[in-house]
């Protein structure tokens, strides 16, 4: 099933509505009146606040939006909606999760998104107060709360029930092995992908200069190959190139010379570090991991600074779960727990 996904950010003008709500909250919290002086103070403090954003806050927001675009791009849910904003009342302290997700079976889950940028061997933890706030919200809504954790050191997403966290001292903790074992990313449309290796981008140079081990060239034409077989179909080629650029296989290159010792072509190829001899394919990664890698390359510049975390398009490609090419054979695995 393919659904048209609307972009709530595009349909709602934050400069018109959200900014005015923020201004009203500002004058209320600071016991000010709506006046020209209050507007000046508001703009001054907004500038100061934005300039004071730290790296943790910025990358946390990027991860939160990354999850949104991944779920949207997987096209397996009916809606995903940010809910931790706006006016709300609760009779006891709660922590509102980031998103409400309506699944294809019309069931509903709440998702809190987190980034774990520590070594993946270390537990992810949250304070008892934070955990209790999410738990109270789950009880109040009578709906499961999940934590979507991006283990950034290994580029891997897990979606885990809040109940999987265990109390350890004054924190609730989750280790990466349990997170992977009890991972529910499949309910939002994630798949593990297998293809035949290697995937190769073969480039024929028009002109080139090879000096002191450094090669500079102008491309005359390029071809894409799977398992050393030429891929002709354009859709098949685009999907293969997506796996080539965003999969987890190791990158290599090789120069092919002709009989005149001139460069005929250069092969840029990816392949797994260890091949599985007893099967026709190797795992190149999860769709969610590849989508996040693409998202990071779009929104982060060469200085590791966030340019703009919002997108006007989906990630990846129009991926039919039943598609398999003539040359690019695709194996999909839905990991359930």
Q: How far apart are CA 24 and CA 44, in angstroms?
A: 15
Residues 178 and 142 reside in one and the same domain = yes
Q: How far apart are CA 143 and CA 287, in angstroms?
A: 27
pLDDT for 5 beyond 60: no
Residue 63, domain member (yes or no): no
Assign 272 to helix, strand or coil: coil
Residues 297, 199: contact at Cβ < 8 Å? no
Q: Which of the listed residues 159, 188, 217 is the one where a domain comes to its end?
A: 188
Residues 234, 243: contact at Cβ < 8 Å? no
Residue 69, domain member (yes or no): no
Q: Which two tokens stand for residue 89?
A: 């009342």
Residue 70, domain member (yes or no): no
Residues 314 and 205 reside in one and the same domain = yes
pLDDT for 2 beyond 70: no
Residues 229 and 301 reside in one and the same domain = yes
Residue 264, domain member (yes or no): yes
Residues 101 and 12 reside in one and the same domain = no
Assign 265 to helix, strand or coil: strand
Residue 223, domain member (yes or no): yes
Q: Which of the listed residues 188, 219, 237 is the one where a domain comes to its end?
A: 188
Residues 3 and 99 reside in one and the same domain = no
Burial of 161 (0-12, 13-18, 19+ CB in 10 A): middle
Q: Which of the listed residues 169, 188, 207 is the one where a domain comes to its end?
A: 188
Looking at the 3D structure of the chain, how many domains does it have? 3
Q: How confident is the model at residue 89 (pLDDT cuts 50, 70, 90)?
A: confident
Q: Residue 228: which domain range?
A: 192-333
Residues 198 and 329 reside in one and the same domain = yes
Higher pLDDT among residues 50 and 332, named by residue: 332
Task: Convert the pLDDT of each residue in 94-149 to its tens digit.
Answer: 999 999 999 999 999 999 999 998 776 778 999 999 999 999 999 999 999 999 99
pLDDT mean across residues, the chain: 88
Residues 156 and 209 reside in one and the same domain = no
């Amino acid at each position: 099933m393919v659904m048209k996904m609307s972009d709530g950010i595009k349909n709602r003008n934050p400069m018109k509505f959200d900014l005015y709500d923020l201004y009203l909250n500002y004058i209320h919290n600071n016991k000010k009146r709506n006046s020209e002086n209050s507007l000046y103070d508001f703009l001054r403090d907004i500038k100061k606040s934005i300039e004071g954003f730290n790296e943790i806050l910025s990358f946390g927001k990027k991860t939160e939006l990354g999850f949104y675009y991944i779920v949207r791009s997987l096209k397996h849910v009916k809606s995903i909606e940010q809910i931790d904003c706006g006016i709300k009342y609760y009779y006891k302290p709660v922590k509102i999760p980031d998103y409400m997700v309506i699944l294809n079976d019309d069931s509903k889950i709440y998702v809190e998104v987190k980034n774990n940028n520590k070594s993946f061997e270390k537990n992810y933890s949250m304070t008892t107060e934070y955990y209790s706030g999410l738990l109270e919200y789950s009880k109040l809504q009578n709906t499961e709360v999940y934590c979507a954790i991006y283990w950034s050191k290994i580029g891997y997403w897990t979606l885990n029930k809040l109940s999987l966290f265990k109390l350890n001292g004054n924190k609730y903790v989750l280790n990466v092995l349990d997170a992977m074992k009890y991972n529910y990313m499949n309910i939002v449309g994630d798949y593990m992908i297998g293809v035949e290796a290697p995937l190769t981008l073969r480039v024929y140079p028009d002109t080139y200069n090879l000096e002191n081990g450094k090669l500079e060239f102008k491309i005359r034409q390029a071809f894409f190959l799977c398992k050393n077989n030429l891929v002709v179909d354009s859709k098949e080629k685009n999907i293969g190139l997506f796996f080539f650029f965003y999969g987890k296989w190791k990158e290599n290159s090789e120069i092919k010379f002709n009989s005149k010792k001139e460069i005929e072509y250069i092969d840029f190829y990816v392949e797994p570090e260890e091949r599985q001899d007893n099967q026709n394919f190797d795992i190149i990664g999860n769709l969610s991991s590849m989508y996040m890698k693409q998202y990071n390359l779009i929104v982060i510049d060469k200085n590791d600074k966030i340019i703009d975390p919002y997108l006007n398009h989906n990630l990846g490609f129009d991926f039919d779960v039943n598609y398999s090419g003539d040359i690019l054979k695709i194996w999909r695995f839905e990991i359930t727990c």
